[in-house]
Structure 1
């Protein structure tokens, strides 16, 4: 494996850095965060500069690139202090190219090119978080139509996405591996009710409760194969976990660089605090964790591009990156001291935003279960 960036990747990342540093100061993101406001201007700028086209096949008017390139872009956005969690095109594109109908693919690619999310993921329910087998949202057929009933929670982007990739269950099927089916549900359909949740982070994106009361859709709105929703979900999670690990890496890099600069500038006891060994120790271990995170993320993306299973590696990458990145950001806040704990510095925003990485897309505990089970299977 050779993780040296290609000339094309270097130029792409350089143009991204120029765009963000030139047009989007920390004050802009700070204001969006304080107002709980989607950074429309920033997302439009990404589209206007071609980043919305990345990963979309040529037949849909896009610019084909590999997974690693998309991951590098996601990482770089977060490293520059922007909300990397809003750039989720790698997941949306992969889901639809893998499971979507032609109509669903066209809609997703068109919205992605506009810098919008085509769909939110309707998976989690009040009684079904880590235990996806406890999903109770149902689909029933009547007079040639399909009706969805249930309650989803912690749905990211539900207020802004035009569709939901909704996981449902057929209780007449006893085999759980064949009991779940995904559907493409319009969020403006009669019977859909959305209520926002209030969080401690991710203020630039909404997270909601979604109630589905006899929501009528068509047979053509099935995503993938009937009864194969659980298998499709596991594939979805692998890419989602890789994406979350990449964003966590970028957040850690951002915090580390801010802390290192501050350590060179902040004078106490007559000298920069970076000259003290306890500060140097923190920075050294932060650098080691970032290097480890980077290697795991890039290797996982390389595996995806080479058709190698991500079942174990994506779980390991997300587990380690979620934990290590928070440790790096927390140490950065310690180096920054009081100023780091205020909203005057982005360290506090990174600290809040990063914590969800150990919960969303699969908790630390579920990552251990998935990875541990997969590791044992290799040595039977």
Structure 2
């Protein structure tokens, strides 16, 4: 897809490139990855220069932009070698800007403006991954209070989030009743006090992962966690619908990040192929290496078409239910294949931690799982694509 950028978009990306030359070096990210530390200096720089607040309404201190511009920035962040997951979390803040009370919004954006996550989304559970209707965390009213009980899993940045947006079902509802299968509510839960201590009834345990070493991913237990009625977010019983409000944009954002990561490793691999001498000539002169490079290029350009085709539709107000699922499926698979080919071209050096290709290869694999598995994307698209032919 031939992208013609506006002058404003060109200047925005040039500014981002300059910022990353200073704060987003590979040496810095390598150190953070090895130490399993969040790249705070880099994300602070993004925030201070307005990038983390792109797409957020002005009344919350943000800068409204179209979805296409958000995707351009996400792509460029990852193309410049940043961890794929450090940009774009603000897409999830739409749950708070759309449904949060003034007090909840104030608390959320106070965290954001301090360079911390606004909240962690408490949705996935040990028994409820792709099958969200199996969500078992409950809330129950008693003596004028509300009490949460249950478990959450795969919660990104729960260790350093002060708040959680928790999705739970009413303990008095029968989960076997079809009318209640997707009847959930959202609750605003404080996880840590001002000193960083866990609130009563909450335990958090980090998970060891293959990749994403700079961010924590956690399991959480909720045991009689006490809330007030004012902690309800939005409309009771509409939590599932509220959580879905931005899923399609988030899927396309994941695709833009995958596109950027693929471009990053592609450039590293092609540069290596032109400089690595074996048998008296660059390995890029060999036809099999040229085949890898050509296939990588084709996949990257196809990914670009999916990302910006979807973004353009969203900006026009068109539905991307099918397209976002197909894009997520294609980009998740293709970006990892590009990473794998890049590692193959670079050989042994690509498999070492001296090469950022190995870090991006590890980080990219989860995008066939997170934000909707390949199998669920196929189900969403396959079911919808058949619908017009059933009559």
Partner of 1:10: 10
Structure-2 separation of matches of 1:214 and 1:357: 34
Partner of 1:184: 188
Any idea what the Cα deviations from partners look like across 1:151-174, whole Å, max 9, x if unmatched? 111111101111111111125153
SS at match of 1:85: coil
SS at match of 1:38: coil
Quick check: 1:177–1:227 contact (8 Å CA) kept in 2? no
Structure-2 separation of matches of 1:12 and 1:283: 29
Structure-2 separation of matches of 1:114 and 1:305: 30
Quick check: 1:55–1:93 contact (8 Å CA) kept in 2? no
- Are positions 1:246 and 2:256 aligned together? yes
SS at match of 1:227: coil
Q: Compute the displacement of 1:140 (Å).
A: 0.8
Q: Give unmatched runs, 5+ long, in structure 2.
A: 193-198
Which range is displaced more, 1-10 or 179-188?
1-10
SS at match of 2:149: strand
Quick check: 1:140–1:146 contact (8 Å CA) kept in 2? yes
Partner of 2:196: none
Q: Compute the displacement of 1:97 (Å).
A: 2.7
Partner of 2:160: 160
TM (norm. structure 1) is: 0.95
Quick check: 1:197–1:208 contact (8 Å CA) kept in 2? yes
What aligned pairs does 1:1-380 form with structure 2 within 5 A after superposition? 3-171=3-171, 172-173=173-174, 174=177, 175-176=179-180, 178-188=182-192, 189-380=199-390
Structure-2 separation of matches of 1:93 and 1:125: 21
Structure-2 separation of matches of 1:177 and 1:227: 11
Q: Compute the displacement of 1:199 (Å).
A: 0.4
Q: Give unmatched runs, 5+ long, in structure 1.
A: none
Which range is displaced more, 60-69 or 349-358?
60-69
Q: Compute the displacement of 1:121 (Å).
A: 1.4
Note closer, same or farther for the CA distance 1:303–1:143 as it changes in structure 2 (3 Å cut): farther
Structure-2 separation of matches of 1:151 and 1:236: 24
SS at match of 1:86: coil
Structure-1 separation of matches of 2:2 and 2:26: 34
Q: Compute the displacement of 1:63 (Å).
A: 1.6
Quick check: 1:54–1:70 contact (8 Å CA) kept in 2? yes
Structure-2 separation of matches of 1:218 and 1:73: 39
Q: RMSD of the alignment, in Å?
A: 1.7
Quick check: 1:52–1:113 contact (8 Å CA) kept in 2? no
Note closer, same or farther for the CA distance 1:233–1:377 as it changes in structure 2 (3 Å cut): farther
Q: Compute the displacement of 1:82 (Å).
A: 0.7
Structure-1 separation of matches of 2:113 and 2:14: 21
Quick check: 1:259–1:336 contact (8 Å CA) kept in 2? yes
TM (norm. structure 2) is: 0.93
